[in-house]
Amino acid sequence: MKVTPVKLWRRQKETSSLIGKKGHILLWTIIRVPAKSFGQQAPYPVVVVELEGGQRMVGQLVDWQEKDLRVGTNVIAVLRRLRTEEKADVISYNIKFKPL
C-alpha cells in the first residue's frame, strides 16, 4: 500500500482525535514473523483495545513488558512511527497503544 502525503493529510484529524484516549486490552497476540517493513520490530504484540465510549481498535502495543500482556490491562493511545521506510519514502505515523 502506497502512503502519499495527501492520504496522510486527509487522515490527520481522525488520527489526532484518538491520541490520549484510554482503554483496556480485550485480546492480544505476538507477531513473530512480520511483513518485511515491520521486520526490525519483531517480535511485537498486537492488541484489540476497547476505548472509553465503546470504540474498538486494533493496534501494536509499544513500551511493553511481559506483565502487560493480559486481558484488562489499561492502555493509552499514542502516536508513533508506523514502520521502517526507505530513505525516499514518506514517514508514516499511526496510533499505537502504550500500557499505563
pLDDT for residue 84: 64
Report the topology of domain 5-99. OB fold (Dihydrolipoamide Acetyltransferase, E2P) (2.40.50)
Q: pLDDT per residue over 30-64, tens digit each?
A: 999 887 777 778 898 999 999 998 999 999 999 99
Q: Rounded distance, CA 44 to CA 47, Å? A: 10
Question: Could you state, in order of their start, the residue ranges of all structural domains in the chain?
Answer: 5-99
Q: What is the pLDDT of residue 77?
A: 94
